[in-house]
Every structure is written in structure tokens, then in C-alpha cells.
Amino acid sequence: MQEINDYKNKKVLVLGLAKSGLNAARLLHKLGALVTVNDKKDFHENPDAQSLVEDGIRVISGSHPVELLDENFELVVKNPGIPYTNPMVKRALELKIPIITEPELAYEVSVAPWVGVTGTNGKTTTTTLIGLLLNEGGQSAKVGGNIGIPISQVAQKATKDDVIVAELSSFQLLGITKLHPHVAVLTNIYEAHLDYHGSRENYVKAKMRITMNQTADDYFIMNWDLPEMHELAKQSKAKIVAFSRKNAAGARAQLTDGYLCFDGEKIMAADKLQIPGSHNIENALAAIAVAKIYGIDNAAIVRVLSTFSGVKHRIQYVQTVAGRRFYNDSKATNVEAASVAIQAFKDPEVLIAGGLDRGLSMDDLVPLVKQHVKAMITYGETASLMVQVAKDAGVQIIKRVENLDEAVPAAYAASAKGDVILLSPAAASWDQFHTFEERGDVFIADVAKIAAQEG
């Protein structure tokens, strides 16, 4: 960790806790800042806030009092999930108080070079693969960020001989100013989080902040199968390293004649990948591009890609019960992510879908559901929307239930030997769960109950 004096005696407000806020507050305290934490959760039900008070950090909880900003703070470190329309954030902007997110703070204390990964879908899988490839090839990779490990925690432990591999969301990228990855990865861009960003244009701009500080000495890995990327590439000063599943001209990492290749050299057959779906071919190609920049040999790449079975909650194989394979894709919080999962299997699917209603159309799912899904079980705020998708797709078995605990046995009842039972909600979890991880864990537990009943 780099010792810096920039925050010594500086009045800093950490707005919102969770993992990122908790770790940002502790790091700032260590750096000598005068930290105040403000979290809306009641103090008596807030163990994180209680632990900070024990550390000597001031905490104000239970609400977000706008008048708190009258205390002349010099910086706000904002939880990424708090939108810029929040009254506290709007007031901070009016007062011209700089607002950053935790990755910016992590970068400032980091002595290790960074690989930053963003995109609408595939971030977590690609980030994980890059870390595994670098470590297998003799580098020392430390993985964190939006993947679930606070990046400020990782940055404090990483040395100059390590490589930090950080998954970065659009929410996090809006709060960076100096963050400068040596290698940036943009897996794809689809329509997502418009309720937060206000427009697709704003969302794209947020994603492109990952390359804004890069120079000609850096690398920007981009998905060349998306025409939009060709134009976006012109905004970057970094060397563009493109990947393509569709053999697009100019891509260095490609799927060619069934093989994953780099600069025309065959590395391995794509059907040796253990993770299903064409989207995972794209994720693997993006990870290969990063591995090659770091000089990783083909043998190490093959060892990782032929054994990696996926990340939790992203088309995660759970278990097989009476010939039915269960997959947990709770991380599919939008239509695009669910589309990827629905297309990933050749066997008939019983789809469990539903969640928070953000007012978005589900119509793009209709042709995919028609092709792949034999039965639909739906619940949550978007239940009626998903029922309509199933009807429009001609699905014969449609059942609406109250919650996920009811949906899993209903899906099992609607299935037959050889089917895939897939949780891919196409919606956020917040109508019934705190996080998509909690939703996925409930699904796994419900599958375990069925397995126990079946003996």
C-alpha cells in the first residue's frame, strides 16, 4: 500500500455503508482523515456502523439528513448504489463537493498495476478468468471490486509485483477521476440500469470512463462483434485489442473453425470449455486477450479454460435431481443477461423468472422462450409481464406463484428427465430479496430440499 498524506485531517463524508462504504471508511481513518459515516439503516440494527464507532469513527445513521452537508466536508465517498438523484448527493453537487466511489480511493493507495473489467454482462466471469489465467501463468493476480471483495481491501494488501484485477460497475465508474488501468476490458454494452443513469447514452458514457485515463502505453480490450464498439474505440488513447466470436475482421482474439485463437494461433477447441453458452466463448476470448498481453503461455490458458466451471449465481450448475439439471443464474438481473442463459442450453428448459419491476419491456425474451422453454414459472413484481411473455411464446405450461420457495418445486413438477431447470429472473432481486446473491442462495437451498425428498 502506498502511504499518502492527501487525506490527513481532511473532512470526509462516507455516504452509505455496505461492503464498499465500510472498507472506505476504515481506509480513510487509517490515512488520517476526519471521517463521518452516514447510513440510512438504524444504528441498533447496523453491526457495520457499530463496529466503526468502536474504531473511533463518527457514525450518523437512521436517515440521510441533508443539513449534515453544512459541516464543510471536503470530499464525499459515495456508495455506488446511491443514485445521483438522492437529495444528499444532489446537495453535495450543488455545494461543489467532489464525489468519488471506493475504487478511486483504492487506486490512490495502490502500488500494483490494474486490469479493469466492465460491461453489461460477463464482468464477473471474465474478471474471474483473468485472475485464474494470470495466476496459472506465473503472475500474481489479486481479484476484487464489484465481484464481491472490496477493491480497497485488495489494494492495501497488493504489492508492486502483483496485478490487481478489478470488476468495475457503471455505478462505480461514475465516481472515478484518476483511476488508470493498464489494461481495460469492455465485455459488451446493452441496455441496462436506465433507472439509475437516466438514458442509454449516459450509461455508455459511464462505461467508457474505464478508458478515460489510459494512454498509448495501455490496452483496451473490446468486443468487435458489436458495431457500436468500433466507434467507441475512437474515444480511447489506448491500444485496441479486439475479440470476436463471429470472426470479425481486425480481432486478435477470435473463434475460428471451432478453436479459440489469438493472432491466428490455435489455443484450444471451444467445445473444451466447461462453462456453457456462446457468451462464455466471448468471456474466454476477452480473458485470453489479457493473458496474452501479460505473456501467459497456451498451456496455462488451456489448463484454466478446460477446468473452470463458472462463478456462483451466473449460470451456475447446482446439481442433478432425477435427471433434471438445476442451474442458478440469479445474477441475470436484466433481459439481456437472461437471454444469454436461455440460449445456453440445447435441452428443454423450465424457466423460473420474475423480480423487481423497473418498467422495462420483456418482449425481447419472446423468441428465445419460444425456442428453448417448455414451461415457465414466474413470481414477483414482474410476474404478469413474464406470464405474457410465456403466452406470446406459446408456452403450454405457465404457472404464477408468490415467491421463489414456491417456484422451485413448481418447476420440478413441470419438468421431465433430461430437462434443465433454470433460474434466470430477467429482473433485479429487490422486490423480495436484499441481493441477487441471497436470491441465488435461496434457490440452491430449495433445490437441496427437493434432492433430499427424492432421496
Q: Pick the residue with more confidence: 28 or 3?
A: 28
Q: What is the pLDDT of residues 81-118, one digit of tens each?
A: 899 999 999 999 999 999 999 999 999 999 999 999 99
The pTM of this model reads 0.82
Give tens-digit pLDDT for 108-120. 999 999 999 999 9
96: left (phi over 0), alpha (psi -120 to 50) or beta: left
Distance CA 116, CA 158 (A): 15
Quote the CA–CA distance of 165 and 183 in Å, as a whole number: 9
Confidence of residue 311 (pLDDT cuts 50, 70, 90): confident
**Cell numbers placing 317:** 450448475
Question: What does pLDDT average to over the chain?
Answer: 96
With a cut of 80, say whether residue 65 has pLDDT above it: yes
Query: 359-371: per-residue pLDDT in tens?
Result: 989 999 999 999 9
Spell out the domains of the chain, with CATH numbers in brackets. 11-100 (3.40.50.720), 103-305 (3.40.1190.10), 316-454 (3.90.190.20)
Residue 190 scores a pLDDT above 90: no
- Dist. CA 203–CA 201, nearest whole Å: 5
Radius of gyration for the chain, computed over Cα atoms and rounded to the nearest angstrom: 23
pLDDT band at 197 (very low <50, low <70, confident <90, very high): confident
Element (H, E) at 269: strand 265-269
Q: Give kind and range of the element (H or E) at residue 426.
A: none
Nearest 5°: phi and psi at 272? Answer: -85, -10
The contacts of residue 54 (CB under 8 Å, 6+ apart) are none
CA pair distance 288, 315, nearest whole angstrom: 21
Predicted pLDDT at 194: 76
What is the rounded distance in angstroms from the CA atom of residue 44 to the CA atom of residue 63? Answer: 13
- The confidence score (pLDDT) of residue 192 equals 74
In angstroms, the CA 123 to CA 129 distance is 10
Phi, psi of 305 (to 5 degrees): -70, -25
Handedness of CA 292, 296, 302, 303 (dihedral sign): negative
CA distances from 126 to 150, 303, 305, 366, 425 (A): 17, 16, 11, 28, 21
In this predicted structure, the answer to whether residue 37 has a pLDDT above a threshold of 90 is: yes
What's the pLDDT at 324? 97
Task: List, for residues 321-341, the tens digit of each pLDDT value.
Answer: 999 999 999 999 999 889 989
